[in-house]
Amino acid sequence: MTAAALPPLDEILGAAVVVSLPMRVRFRGITARELVLVRGPAGWGEFGPFPEYADEEAAHWLRSALESAWLGPPAPRRDTVPVNATVPAVGPGDVPQILARFPGARTAKVKVAERGQDLAQDVARVRAVRELVPNVRIDANGGWSVDEAVVALGELVADGPLEYAEQPCASVPELVEVRRRMPDVPIAADESIRRAEDPLRVVRAGGADVAVVKVAPLGGMRRLLALADKLAGHGVPVVVSSALDSAVGMGAGLAAAAALPALPYACGLGTGGFFTADVAAPRTMADGKLPVGQVTPDPALLDTVRADPERARWWFDRVRRCRAALD
């Protein structure tokens, strides 16, 4: 969507709704997910950059929302998408009830390197997941140094292989070094791609075997597909993931995954179960897969999760600034 094709601000805000979705567990340090839903001629879009993101970065999320609402999804190649279970930094005793929210899922992504926790807790969590799911990947969110990552990955593969380790360290040089020192553990880049001016830099540097990509931070479904095509030229497959999206944003992620020429890995698009309330009825997961299709928010559900007026003003001001940044 070019700048010239962007809708004017009054059209964006005219039917916009700010919502606050309560969460079952703390995730990224929050217990409620706030975001803006916008409605256009092609359907609904979602704008929900996290509060710490500056306007220049958050503007990509607005571009994504406008693409969904004014252009709609790209042509699909499949009508279902395999998804992974997502296990937050909980104790091993809580793992079975979390995995039960992902019926049929054969892959689980396990959060590790949580502040205030130690490696023994990570190992115990991963071990509990291995007992129930055959394919395990971990996500450290850049929380380790190189030496810490090497030690942790060595401990975590003692009981079995990892499908990949996502963002074990924060910087590209660190990812390159971990990949060199741990050649048997595939490395996936997330933040190093979606929060970088040059998303291919980590791949060119030799720091990633897999790329984790998200629709909103990249500026939309079509931009994700274009990046996936470039990454394929470097032999790097993509995993489409969510940014803690509502049912509307998840629909955009599923649409992007459905349009990819190849989908070798389960996608991280099953996080809707972390909300105790959403803006539409949940998709039914079957055999570890979710159906593809656009979402129309349920008016009754919207009323129950509508944010208070002060928060709505805060988000509308943010939309104004990001719309100006897109110009």
Residue 190 labelled as part of a binding site: yes
Tokens for 44, please give them.
């609904």
- Give pLDDT, residue 272: 84
In angstroms, rounded to a whole number, what is the distance separating the alpha carbons of residues 130 and 31? Answer: 27
Q: Which residue has the tokens 């995954």?
A: 257
In angstroms, rounded to a whole number, what is the distance separating the alpha carbons of residues 201 and 183? Answer: 20
Residue 139 labelled as part of a binding site: yes
Residue 34 labelled as part of a binding site: no
Which among 18, 17, 21, 46 is positioned nearest to 32, based on CA atoms?
21
What residue type is assigned to position 170 of the chain?
Answer: A
The confidence band for 195, taking pLDDT boundaries of 50, 70 and 90, is confident
Residues 199-214 as b or e (16 or more Cβ within 10 Å = b): bbebbeeebbbbbbbb
Element (DSSP H or E) covering residue 319: helix 309-326
**What's the mean pLDDT in 174-180?**
98
CATH 3.20.20.120 domain position(s) in the chain: 80-296
In angstroms, rounded to a whole number, what is the distance separating the alpha carbons of residues 40 and 95? Answer: 40
pLDDT score of 302 more than 90: yes
Higher pLDDT, 31 or 175: 175
The percent of residues above 90 in pLDDT, for the chain, comes to 90
pLDDT score of 3 more than 60: no
Distance, first Cα to last Cα, the chain: 12
**What's the mean pLDDT in 184-199?**
87
Strands 238-241 and 289-291: unpaired
Confirm or reject CATH 3.50.50.60 for domain 9-73+300-325, answering yes or no.
no
In angstroms, rounded to a whole number, what is the distance separating the alpha carbons of residues 197 and 1? Answer: 19
**Active-site residue among 109, 214, 230, 289?**
214
Tens digit of pLDDT for each residue in 242-262? 988 999 999 999 999 999 999
For domain 80-296, give the CATH number. Answer: 3.20.20.120
Q: How many residues does the chain have?
A: 327
Decide if 111 is catalytic: yes
In angstroms, rounded to a whole number, what is the distance separating the alpha carbons of residues 64 and 49? Answer: 11
Q: If you average pLDDT over every residue of the chain, what do you get?
A: 95
| Residue 234 CB-density burial (10 A; 0-12 exposed, 13-18 middle, 19+ buried) | exposed
CATH 3.30.390.10 domain position(s) in the chain: 9-73+300-325
In angstroms, rounded to a whole number, what is the distance separating the alpha carbons of residues 47 and 8? Answer: 16
